[in-house]
Structure 1
């Protein structure tokens, strides 16, 4: 891994020298490079899903090593980002099969002052990341192979996103797509519109997505694409010391199992800054659920959002699956407080009360409560340290729909060091 990173640095420095010469010839062009080393140690004693009675806690250290190169001129932008992610000890001391891959590789063509086209592997991050998010908490992040056509003018923003995925180059055999390993859609078309109001501190977004998922037969490779539509809106209002936001999304069409879908989610959040040091926040999220007896599938799927931001830091919901065939949805009521100790140190404490989105046969709706604490310290420029601790107190309903034993102590702790400097910008 060390040799690969050193080689990447050498390439970056060489390109930097080339860019200096080019910049002298064309003042409108510039080149930049950044690097990131993010190391995180975790203690898991019930994270992602509840642990069973007698299960022992786990511990590990994961790391992201990333090098990003960018080039820009008046009508052209390029970005290449390569990363190595994994757990300490995962690779041999003598490693001939590296996993240093391109996580981003795209080109953007600026057709005029308003329109652009971006093509390649890229991060799709919109609004509060409820439906499409970068998932930066995950050591690898999330990226899409897509074409984006965008418009920017005044307070108006419009993006059209188009993707078509296959497992490999093929000669014949149709377009069957095996998503069992990638967990990706077969094709996707999305339209996102955003407007910043000039007369008030209001931002409004509308999203419409048509998602094609492969429901065909893996053995015969017979394709049968099922299409599900998601439409909704996100609104943010920030008067004075307040930050108010709300979202609503509805899903229809068919899921990958060819079941008719009718599901929805809604969210309302409010944050208030008492002074320069203290903030308080409250909110509620509701995602509809489905009973096993329902002919129509009524469980909302938040798709490719950054779920870690919303449904508790321990990631019990939507970052990991329900079990035993349940899809009960979720009701999440939360309250929190933030305190800024100094210009470089801040902390937050949040409480979540979880319940199922739908009443299940013979089960109480209450799933349990979670408490999340996080401290962030900016040690110096480009270097920060974060520490977190969470605990979950579940119920017997949690045991049924998520597994584990709610009588066992469930907690999780972590510490992360993030080094993220800009190497140069010319």
Structure 2
């Protein structure tokens, strides 16, 4: 891998020096982001007798960019792991390419972008870069597009396989890309006070057996809206509908809706109010009715403790989620801010157990966060969250709601451009 990285750097510099003067730009960016975590009920509620976990995770990333009038390329390699995971004398370092793409510009706003790349659209509900996760989220895809000052149109195409084949196909095993094929069309229009986008996605999901794979198709359609009548108020909403077949060949009919208001009371004080509703599956139904937010940044929406969609439900359930929340952000100084958000969670489908129908209420989560710009290119962030759950939470997520559930973290993000040159 070290030899590969050296060849990448050498090729970019040589390419720049051989090009026409003033037409080329080469950049080198680096990032080091350690994060210490105390997990006493994060992702899943802890059960009676279970002890908290403590660790320090880390991302080290090196990104190389090359750009001229009609061509842009980016290569990014990263090491992601936990302190202590690798031996002091490491002969098999895990340094992988997380980005490797080229973008060709054809003039008049037309372009093609191909290779391993993040897909981040709208507020990242359906397609997100997932930067909170140390590894991030990346797709192997071809993106064709048109972009002007107010209008954007993208067509994303992907076809995945887990190895080179000689004949036939293969059962798409876990650990690779989660879909066999994807076709997505996205359009957005924006001006000073209004923005709207529409998304249509077709996913091919492979099921069946290793001897006989079968691809089922699932469609997601939706719109994302934003209105900003003045500088003090920003309103947004989204609606998505899913149909098609699951990998197990069950008919899908599911939907989600979201509303959010950002109120900027003063220069340093803002409030947020919102509600997200994702349909859940009814076991007595012949259709699958649980909405799947797919490849979005779930940590951003459904509570920082990641109980929902960033981690699965228990007992084979998918009862949906209704998240009503309110929060505030306070800028104490230009480089120091505090935030607090409270969530009340409930299921959107009825839950029937041997003892009768259960309450839909899941519990309340409170998320606190601090952000402090220590110096140029260096940011310190910290957070603390706790969850007060119900008996229904035990049923859909496991654990014991009578135990105290909390989570704390501390992160330093050092990110800078160490080299930039133009020829």
TM-score bin (small chain)? over 0.9
Query: Is residue 259 of structure 1 aligned with residue 255 of structure 2?
Result: no
1:18-417 mapped onto 2 (5 Å cutoff): 18=14, 21-22=17-18, 25-172=20-167, 174-182=168-176, 184-197=178-191, 200-218=192-210, 220=211, 222-239=212-229, 240-361=231-352, 362-417=357-412
Deviations 1:334-387 (A, max 9, x none): 000100010100110000000001122211000000000000001111110000
Normalised to the residue count of structure 2, the TM-score between the two structures is 0.95
How far is 1:175 from its partner? 2.1
Q: Deviations over 1:239-268 (max 9, x none)?
A: 321111100000000111111000000000
SS in 2 for 1:371: strand
Residue range with higher mean Cα deviation, 142-151 or 175-184: 175-184
Deviation of 1:19 (Å): 6.0
Structure 1 CA distance for aligned equivalents of residues 306 and 16 of structure 2: 46
**Distance of 1:108 and 1:21 partners within structure 2:** 20
Asked if 2 retains the 8 angstrom alpha-carbon contact of 1:388 and 1:415, the reply is yes
Alpha-carbon distance in 2 for matches of 1:19, 1:171: 36
Distance change >3 Å, CA 108–CA 16, structure 1 → 2: closer
CA distance 1:366–1:341, change in 2 (3 Å): same
Q: SS state of the match for residue 409, structure 2?
A: strand
Whether the 8 Å contact between 1:370 and 1:390 is mirrored in structure 2 is yes
TM-score, normalization: structure 1?
0.95
Distance in 2 separating the partners of 1:417 and 1:14:
31
Contact 1:212/1:227 (<8 A) preserved: yes
* Superposed structure 1 runs of 4+ greater than 6 Å apart: 7-13
Partner SS state of residue 274, structure 1 = strand
Instruction: Describe the SS at the equivalent of 2:394.
Output: helix
Structure-1 separation of matches of 2:351 and 2:300 = 27
Instruction: Please say if residues 13 and 26 of structure 2, whose CA atoms lie closer than 8 Å, have aligned partners that are also in contact.
Output: no
CA distance in 1, matches of 2:12, 2:333: 37
Report the CA distance between 1:22 and its aligned residue: 4.1
Say which is worse superposed, 333-342 or 181-190, in terms of deviation.
181-190
Range that drifts further, 353-362 or 120-129: 353-362
Deviations 1:138-157 (A, max 9, x none): 00000000000010123110
**Superposed displacement of residue 177, structure 1:** 3.7
Q: Which stretch shifts more, 8-17 or 292-301?
A: 8-17
Distance 1:425 1:9 in 2: 18
Does the aligned pair in 2 maintain the 1:161–1:191 contact within 8 Å?
Answer: yes
CA distance in structure 2 between the aligned counterparts of 1:423 and 1:64, rounded to whole angstroms? 17
Residue 223 of structure 1: CA displacement? 1.6
CA shift, 1:15, in A, is 5.8
* In structure 2, C-alpha distance between the alignment counterparts of 1:406 and 1:50, rounded to whole Å: 7
Structure 1 CA distance for aligned equivalents of residues 363 and 177 of structure 2: 29
Q: Deviations over 1:49-80 (max 9, x none)?
A: 11001100001001000000010111111000
**Superposition RMSD in Å:** 1.6
The Cα offsets for residues 178-236 of structure 1, whole Å up to 9 and x where unpaired, read as 23123510100000000013xx5111000000001001202x1x120010000000011
Q: Secondary structure at the match of 1:357?
A: coil
**Contact kept? 1:35, 1:420, Cα under 8 Å:** yes
Distance 2:178 2:8 in 1: 32
